[in-house]
Homo-oligomer: A and B are copies of this chain.
Amino acid sequence: MPELRKNVLTDEWVIIATERAKRPEDFQKKAAKTTLAEQERVDSCPFCVGNEAMTPPETFAFRKEGTSADKPGWRVRVVPNKFPAQEIHEVIIETPSHQKSIATLSPQEVEEVILTYQQRYLSAERNEKIKQITIFRNHGQTTGASKLHPHTQLIATPVFSQKFRNQEKIALNYWQKEKKCLYCVLLKEELEKKERIISETENFVVFAPYASQSPFEVWIFPKSHQSSFGSISEEEIKDLTEILPKILFKFYSELDNPDYNYIIHTYLSNTADKEAKHWFLQILPRLTPIGGYELGSGIFINIVRPEAAAKFLNDATI
Contacts and interface: CB of A to CB of B under 8 A. Distances in A.
A66 interface: no
Query: For the side of the interface on A, what is the size category?
Result: 35 or more
A83 B162 contact: no
Interface of A is mostly: mixed
A10 B292 contact: no
Interface in A207-263: 261-263
Interface in A260-296: 261-265, 282, 284, 288-296
29 contacts: A1-B86, A2-B85, A6-B159, A13-B157, A13-B159, A15-B85, A15-B86, A17-B83, A17-B84, A17-B85, A137-B292, A138-B291, A138-B292, A138-B293, A144-B289, A144-B291, A153-B293, A157-B299, A162-B166, A163-B299, A164-B297, A261-B291, A261-B295, A261-B296, A263-B292, A263-B293, A263-B295, A263-B297, A284-B292
Given A4-B158, A15-B85, A143-B292, 12 more contacts: A2-B86, A4-B157, A13-B161, A17-B83, A85-B301, A142-B289, A144-B291, A153-B292, A157-B297, A161-B299, A163-B298, A261-B295
Given A11-B162, A12-B163, A162-B11, A144 B4 contact: no
Contact of A19 (B13, B84, B159, B293): B84
Contacts of A137: 292
B87 A296 contact: no
Contacts of A17: 83-85
Contacts of A164: 297-298
